[in-house]
Amino acid sequence: MPHERFHKKMKKLSNEDYNHMIKVANELLERRDENDFRFVQERDDSKYAGGFAEVQAHMNHEEFYTYLAQGEFILRVEEALKKDYKKAYEIFDEIRNACKLK
């Protein structure tokens, strides 16, 4: 399962990289948009629409990346990761490509 492979690759990161990824996930999950709504939201057509992926990501920040890799969050989430957290995006994208979650 690509989702589980993603978790295994995350666990193999150095402590520094892993902690950075978790910190970034937390920052994005806590971010609010210009209207003070949650920045990280599931797509309307997400198979997890209703908040499941968001709740899982809050409970385990690794899940933020697995669901992002599966395309479950609205586009602005990946765009913000790419623009504002370049190192985290590079790690994320490398793992996503290795797990074929694109």
Q: Where are the domains of the chain?
A: 2-99
78 has a pLDDT exceeding 70: yes
**pLDDT tens-digit map of 17-63:** 999 999 999 999 999 999 999 999 999 888 877 789 999 999 999 99
Give the span between the Cα atoms of 94 and 53, in whole angstroms: 21
Rounded average pLDDT over 81-86: 98
Burial of 80 (0-12, 13-18, 19+ CB in 10 A): middle
**pLDDT tens-digit map of 58-77:** 999 999 999 999 999 999 99
